[in-house]
Each structure stands twice: as structure tokens, then as C-alpha cells.
Amino acid sequence: MSYSIQQLEALKAFYSTQLSGDTIPFWFPRSFDEEHGGFLLMRDADGSLIDDDKAVWIQGRATWLLATLYNTIEKKQEWLDGAKSGYE
């Protein structure tokens, strides 16, 4: 399947809006573990914490995501601080 330039632009706009307007605000900053570092990501659909277990793979994924957002989308200090929290 091939997409036209207009379709690709529409998809880019859709996913950009979803990421910046829904996905990222749902997870961050509420998932930063201010006490121990890293992220508390076991959450219900309403954002409430289900479990405080910290699987290593999701800690790495969240660290990578925040670093990538900082380096490619916008230099938000919150994203940089979150990425640092994930690996320190």
C-alpha cells in the first residue's frame, strides 16, 4: 500500500497530536518516582497506580522515550530530568 503526501501529512499530524496531547501527558510527570528514581508505570486507565513494581525493560523504554523526545521534539527540562532519573 502506498500513501500520498497528503495522507502522510494527515497521519503525521494525527500521531503528533495523540502523542503530545494524550499519551505523554497521561504518563508524565505522574509516573516519575520522586523518592527512588525511575518510573512507576503500572497504571490503570484512569492513571491510578496499580503496582509499584519496576520492570527493567519498561524503565529502559521510558528512559529512551524521554531522551528521544528531548533530543528530537523539544528541549523540555522535564523530559531531560526524567531521562536522567531513569538511568541514575
pLDDT, tens digit (0-9, with 9 covering 90-100), for 15-61 = 999 999 999 999 999 999 999 999 999 999 999 999 999 999 999 99
Using an 8 Å Cβ cutoff, are 55 and 76 in contact?
no
Looking at residue 73, its amino acid is I
Q: Quick check: 88 pLDDT over 90? A: no
Q: What percent of the chain has pLDDT over 90?
A: 97
pTM score: 0.85
The whole domain housing 46 covers 5-87
Question: Would you give the DSSP letter of residue 35?
Answer: T
Q: Which residues contact 69 (CB under 8 A, 6 or more apart)?
A: 24, 76, 79
Q: Quick check: 11 pLDDT over 90? A: yes
Please give the tally of structural domains in the chain. 1
